[in-house]
């Protein structure tokens, strides 16, 4: 599945780069999403075989968490550079290259299948997949629609209500399925709840600052795409530097403490950005807040990746990867849509951005409290 996902992702990226029109481009972007969704859980499913020692596996997961957010940030920056100097088609050079390298390395690096592994594979759950996907899509669409209309509008209420109903049906169906897509007991581990929630919030905050500052700097301040992309270089460098240290921090202080510290730092950065105004200075406000947020996000992702895979059986590593990947995708969809729905409650665009940052900071603070209350109980249970 990993090889299949890489091949599909790379081929779709190449076709997108060569797309003759918008329709073809959107179709290939859809296939990229399918390929990426296959790669993420399949790759994590290989991690335990590559790192059988639990201490080494924990270090690898800490690095995994940091690397997972780097792709999105570097893609954002490189895309702006490509659009400024060459062509938007060159945006796909990175995913094509990464896919090709992954395929070339897979034969020599990936562990072979274990005896009897095929016989132990669970069945599929198409009903659960349809209900979960439909529920998330409809609920997200309703939140996005609230940006341009009132909350009482049918185009907002209808999709949100329908999406919520489908998600409730998904929970019921999973309790009755022989091989559920998401076993209900899987998310009951307190440490896993903290890890998955931290990933969702960190992913939402990452897209929030990228989208808001991109729009703010270009439309409100008149910056060019190149200047805007360049303004995020300190964010990327801080993220990279923090990722290099995050695994050691997790090993030194533990995954719970690292996740909580990251949530605190990221929350402080978002609270700082909640004071954004029409003429907020880049060097004294936006730049340091970006760097602070990057440090917090890197710590959250590294600690949360270890928490999310704590006490996971070998045969459920693919499931853990799917849950983690879903959390990282729900952040930029449902989480980000919620923040922008909050922003839409203000007539002034910049005031709306400030309220969105403030709301995100409040949620990070609530996550800190929840993590302090929940994660220690999960650790004691795992130790027992």
State the Cα–Cα distance between residues 102 and 6, nearest whole angstrom: 7
Assigned domain for 347 exists = yes
Out of 158, 178, 198, a domain closes at: 178
The larger pLDDT score, comparing residue 356 to residue 224, is at 356
> Are residues 349 and 279 part of one domain?
yes
Whether residue 384 has pLDDT greater than 70: no
pLDDT range class, residue 145, cuts 50, 70, 90: confident
Tokens of 149: 């209309």
Overall average pLDDT of the 134-145 stretch: 85
pLDDT at 118: 52
Assigned domain for 148 exists = yes
pLDDT at 335: 82
> Are residues 153 and 198 part of one domain?
no
Overall average pLDDT of the 166-173 stretch: 92
Whether residue 333 has pLDDT greater than 50: yes
State the Cα–Cα distance between residues 132 and 142, nearest whole angstrom: 16
pLDDT at 375: 61
- Count CA atoms within 13 Å of residue 319 on its CB side: 22
- Mean pLDDT, rounded, of the chain: 84
Enumerate residues 6+ apart whose C-beta is below 8 A from 235: 73, 209, 290, 291, 293, 294
Assigned domain for 14 exists = no
> Are residues 367 and 251 part of one domain?
yes
> Are residues 147 and 174 part of one domain?
yes
> Are residues 251 and 347 part of one domain?
yes
As to burial, measured by CB atoms within 10 angstroms (0-12 exposed, 13-18 middle, 19+ buried), residue 255 is buried
Domain of 287 in residue numbering reads as: 54-88+189-383
Assigned domain for 266 exists = yes
What angle do the packed helices 317-330 and 190-215 form, to 10 degrees? 30
> Are residues 365 and 267 part of one domain?
yes
> Are residues 299 and 275 part of one domain?
yes
> Are residues 246 and 143 part of one domain?
no
pLDDT at 365: 94
Assigned domain for 168 exists = yes
- Tell which residue, 6, 13, 193, has the closest CA to residue 109: 6
| Residue 313: CATH number of its domain | 1.20.1250.20
Assigned domain for 61 exists = yes
The whole model's pTM is what? 0.77
> Are residues 373 and 245 part of one domain?
yes
**Mind listing the pLDDT tens digit for each residue in 49-83?**
778 777 787 778 877 777 777 776 777 677 767 77
**Mind listing the pLDDT tens digit for each residue in 29-57?**
999 989 988 888 888 777 777 787 777 87
Assigned domain for 103 exists = no
Overall average pLDDT of the 20-29 stretch: 93
Number of domains in the chain: 2
- Count CA atoms within 13 Å of residue 10 on its CB side: 15
pLDDT at 169: 94
pLDDT at 382: 43
Question: Is the alpha carbon torsion for 348, 350, 356, 361 positive or negative?
Answer: negative
> Are residues 345 and 239 part of one domain?
yes
> Are residues 165 and 266 part of one domain?
no
Whether residue 276 has pLDDT greater than 90: yes
Assigned domain for 338 exists = yes
Using an 8 Å Cβ cutoff, are 356 and 340 in contact?
Answer: yes
> Are residues 300 and 220 part of one domain?
yes
């Amino acid at each position: 599945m990993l090889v299949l996902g890489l091949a599909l992702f790379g081929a779709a990226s190449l076709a997108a780069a060569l797309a003759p029109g918008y329709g073809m481009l959107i179709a290939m972007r859809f296939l990229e999403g399918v390929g990426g969704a296959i790669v993420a859980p399949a790759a994590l499913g290989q991690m335990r075989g590559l790192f059988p020692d639990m201490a080494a596996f924990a270090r690898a997961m800490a690095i995994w968490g940091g690397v997972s957010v780097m792709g999105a940030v570097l893609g954002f920056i490189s895309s702006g550079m490509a659009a400024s100097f060459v062509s938007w088609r060159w945006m796909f050079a990175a995913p094509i290259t990464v896919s090709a390298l992954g395929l070339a390395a897979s034969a020599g690096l990936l562990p072979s299948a274990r005896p009897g592994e095929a016989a132990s594979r669970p069945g599929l759950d198409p009903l659960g997949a349809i209900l979960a996907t439909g529920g998330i899509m409809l609920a997200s669409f309703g939140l996005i629609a609230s940006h341009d209309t009132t909350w009482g509008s049918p185009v907002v209420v209808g999709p949100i209500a329908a999406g919520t109903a489908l998600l409730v049906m998904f929970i019921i169906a999973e309790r009755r399925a022989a091989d559920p897509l998401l076993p209900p007991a899987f998310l009951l581990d307190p440490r896993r709840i903290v890890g998955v929630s931290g990933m969702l919030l960190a992913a939402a905050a990452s897209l929030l600052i990228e989208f808001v500052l991109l729009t703010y700097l270009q439309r409100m301040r008149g910056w060019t795409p190149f200047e805007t992309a360049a303004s995020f270089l300190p964010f990327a460098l801080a993220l990279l530097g923090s990722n290099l240290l995050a695994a050691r921090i997790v090993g030194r202080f533990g995954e719970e403490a690292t996740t909580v510290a990251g949530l605190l730092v990221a929350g402080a950065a978002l609270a700082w950005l909640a004071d954004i105004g029409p003429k907020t200075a880049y060097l004294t406000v936006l730049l340091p807040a970006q760097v602070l947020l990057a440090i917090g996000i890197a710590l959250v992702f590294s600690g949360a990746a270890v928490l999310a895979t704590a006490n996971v059986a070998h045969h459920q590593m693919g499931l853990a990867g799917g849950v983690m990947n879903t959390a990282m995708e729900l952040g930029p969809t449902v989480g980000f849509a919620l923040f922008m729905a909050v922003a839409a409650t203000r007539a002034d665009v910049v005031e709306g951005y400030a309220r969105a940052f403030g709301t995100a900071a409040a949620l990070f603070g609530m996550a800190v409290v929840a993590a302090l209350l929940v994660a220690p109980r999960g650790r004691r249970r795992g130790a027992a």
